[in-house]
Each structure stands twice: as structure tokens, then as C-alpha cells.
Structure 1
Amino acid sequence: MIAEDTQQTDTGRRGKKGSFFLELPGLVVIALVLALLIKSFVVQAFYIPSGSMENTLLVNDRVLVNKLVYRVRDIERGDIIVFSGVDSWDPEIEYEDPGNPIGRAFHWMGVQFGIVPGDTDYIKRVIGIPGDTVKCCDSKGRVTVNGTAIDEPYVHPGDVPSDQTFEITVPKDRLWVMGDHRSDSYDSRRHTEDPGGGTIPIEKVIGRAFAIVWPFDRATVLPIPATFAQPALHAKS
């Protein structure tokens, strides 16, 4: 009787193991679908491929981007945003097409989960919002917004606020954006001859980068710098 019970128990265990392995592919698919849904509508990880935001963001950093935040508040000066440059800005990095469907599928999956960089997404800091007059430079070489100089401790050490003079009033529904590594950022300043005078459409914004999550020793939140809280900056908001 005892041997019979033991045999039944072993059979039941094998059945459960077999059932688990049969269900595993379905569980993996469900997990991937849920992850992609979260990525599509809530939070997405992005890979930093270039030094244009140093030293705030370094090459190979992974950041989390909130894709819902701008449904509850407007884009603010000082926000670090990810936006699509499809059909407008040239890629900051060279992307080599894998050349075969499987390679492209793996690359696409890597982009979705922030493992590899996308070839049409950009990350920059918002300096001017619609209605702002952004100018460089004042008598002390600083960028001004609505006539008020901003203090920019996040600018890469050794860089000046801008090696190019400019003045623009940001059009409706557009943004003026700049990289923190001013001497190595192909940003709004380099597109002043484009439609919009270098500004980007708000509709192209994917979301706000709010934290570095990899590598672990650099994990931190990405707050809006205090200089953007100056009351004078809001004169034309």
C-alpha cells in the first residue's frame, strides 16, 4: 500500500513538472506582452548611446522615461525629455541595419527594453517652452530665458553655455532643447536653419527621463535644476 502511494505521488510530481514546462512558453509570452504594454503606455527604459548629455548622463547609462507625466502636467523648463527625430534630425549615432529579419527583430526587442539604442530617439534638456525668448549669450556668457540668466551647473565641465550665438522666441507647440555637453551636442542650436528655427514639436515628445537605473552605482533621480524655478522665467508662460 505504501509503495503504491509512493508511486502515485511520484507520478503526480512528474505530471506537475510536465504541466509547468508546457505552460512555460505561454507564461513567457504573457510576461512579454505585459512588459510591452507597460513600455508602450507607462514607463520605458532607454539606452544612452552618446555623450551629448554628459556629465548628467553617460554613454551606456539606462534611464527610465515616464510616458504618462505629460498627460497630467505641461512640459517644464529643465525637464530631460526623450523625443522622436524621425524625418527631422539626423541620427547622433550610426546604426547598422542587421540585414536580416531575425537580427532586426532582436534589435527591435533590445530597443524596447533599453538594451540597445534606438536610431531615431534623442534625449535633451528643455530650455525654452512655447512663448519663451531664449538667447545666448548675455554679457557674462550665460543663456537667458525671457531676459533672465539661468545658472547651469549641469553643463559639462570646461564647456561654455554655448559656442554659438542665437536668439529665438519659441513658437506655439514647440520646444527649444539643448544637451548638457554643449560642445558635443547636436541640438536645437544646430538646426536653426530648419523649419521651426531649431525647435522640436511637442507632439514628438515620448516622455520625461526621471531616473538613471543602470549601472547601479550611478542610480539616481533626475530632478529639475533649481535655476528653472526663478519667477522671472515665467514672465511669458
Structure 2
Amino acid sequence: MGGTGRTDDGRGRLGSVLSGLAVAVGCVLFLGGFAWGAVVYKPYTVPTDSMAPAIGTGDRVLAQRLSGEPVRRGDVVVFSDPVWGDMPMVKRVIGVGGDTVACCDKDNRLTLNGTSVEEPYLRSGDGAGSRPFGATVPDGELFLLGDRRRTSVDSRGHLMDAGRGTVPVSKVTARVDAVAWPVGGVLERPQTFADMPGGISEPGPVRTVVTAIAAGVVLILGGAAHGPLSKLVGRRRKARA
């Protein structure tokens, strides 16, 4: 019986050490994930439905702060421009410097440099727009559209402002990676633009950040539960003895 007691004590000490280690590692992952996310991402609330169905009115999005990374076609970006009201706005990049954007072909699709563009992020039946337009994007500027083309106020409505309607790349502060609330998941980069010059942007680290935080929570809860569970098992063993 003495040998069994020593074995149980040894297992108990090992379990305590492992549970403490799990909590410590969990805290590192949890706090580190939050810190990393706070450095890389900034939350925004989208006030309109101009980006529906991907982003709805009042949705909270996580936007990756940009510090020199190139902005590519298909990116959903946060920007602020005096011509547009000098407040944070969220739109999708359709054209970059040198592109010619026009509406529309016979199937009501946008054309980009003369080629019709499939836009899977649009709501069925929304189409590219109801009024014809055309614009050549100056170097260093972006042509931005909302996904809900029928109601969005975007580059189309500003074509007469300062003779352009485009937005300087320097006005873009972040790129939307995910809808945080209500939980909508990661915004996938549209493959529509993948074969065009420059391709599409690389996904941000939002999945890694969320995984680190979730793993931290699991380890903290699992490690913290070891003590109470061990005591419960011990009491049951004594009761059976």
C-alpha cells in the first residue's frame, strides 16, 4: 500500500506541474494573440450596407493596418478622403493606376481594361450598375466601388469631383480581413483578379491570431480544471475504499 501511495503522490505532483505549465503556456498564447492582434489590426464599424452582402450595416470588421504594403484589386479597404467627406469609409478596390474601368458589357458586367469581370462578391441580380460610366485610373490612385452597386456612393458618384472620382493610395489606412461581429469569418481574396498584373494580396494573419487566442483559452481552462478534478477523483476513491 505504501508503494501505491508514493505512485499516486508522484502522479499528483506531475499532474500539478503539467497543469501549471498548461496555464502558463495558455496565458502566453492568449495575451500574445491579443497583443499581436492589437498591433496588426484595427476594428471599424461599417455604418451602411454599401458592402452587402459581405459586410452589413453596423458590422464590426477587423482591418489590417497598412504600412507600405501595396493595395491590390479586389481588396476591401478603409480610407478617408476630403472629397468623400473626410471620414473613414469602406469600399472595394476595382482599378489601380493605369486601369480603365467601364460599365457595362451586354451582361451588365464591369469591364477592366476591356475585359469583362466576374464579381462573385456581388448580390445576385445587383449587377455592375445601372448607369454607364468610364474612367482611366491615374498612377498612384484607386477606383473604389461598393459591393451593393445600386445604393453605394463610390467612385462612380465622384467622377465629376476634381475631374477624377478616384482616391490616392496614400489615403488608404487599412485592409479589411474579417467580419468580427456578428461573426462572419474571413473575407477571402477574390480570385477574379488573381491573373491580372500584380495579382491579389496575401491574406493577413487573422486566422493565426484567432487560433493562438483560442488555444490559449483551451490550455488555461484545461490546466485550471486539473486541481478540482483531481480532488474529485481522490474523494471518490476514498469513498469506494
Q: TM-score range by the shorter chain?
A: 0.5 to 0.7
1:84-233 equivalences in 2 (<5 Å) = 84-85=80-81, 87-90=82-85, 120-216=87-183, 218=184, 220-230=185-195, 233=196
* In structure 1, distance between residues paired with 2:115 and 2:197: 10
Q: Deviations over 1:174-227 (max 9, x none)?
A: 1000000001100000001012511011111011001111113x2x11121111
Q: Deviations over 1:91-132 (max 9, x none)?
A: 8xxxxxxxxxxxxxxxxxxxxxxxxxxxx1100000000011
Looking at both structures, which has the greater relative contact order when contacts are Cα pairs under 8 Å and sequence separation is at least 6?
A: 2
Q: Deviations over 1:70-109 (max 9, x none)?
A: 52x3111000000013x21138xxxxxxxxxxxxxxxxxx
Counterpart position of 2:74: 78
* In structure 1, distance between residues paired with 2:140 and 2:191: 24
CA contact (8 A) 1:156 1:182 kept: no
| Aligned residues between the structures | 166
Larger radius of gyration: 2
- TM-score calculated relative to the size of structure 1: 0.64
Counterpart position of 1:111: none
Q: CA RMSD in A?
A: 2.4
Alpha carbons of structure 1 residues 38 and 56: separation in structure 2 relative to 1, 3 Å: closer
| 2:61 alignment partner AA | V
Task: Write out the 4+ residue segments of structure 1 that deviate beyond 4 Å after TM superposition.
Answer: none
Residue segments in structure 1 that go unaligned for 5+ positions in a row? 1-33, 92-119
1:234 aligns with 2:232: no
Residue segments in structure 2 that go unaligned for 5+ positions in a row? 1-33, 199-241
Q: Percent identity?
A: 42
- TM-score calculated relative to the size of structure 2: 0.63
| 2:164 alignment partner AA | G
Alpha carbons of structure 1 residues 81 and 67: separation in structure 2 relative to 1, 3 Å: same
* In structure 1, distance between residues paired with 2:115 and 2:83: 30
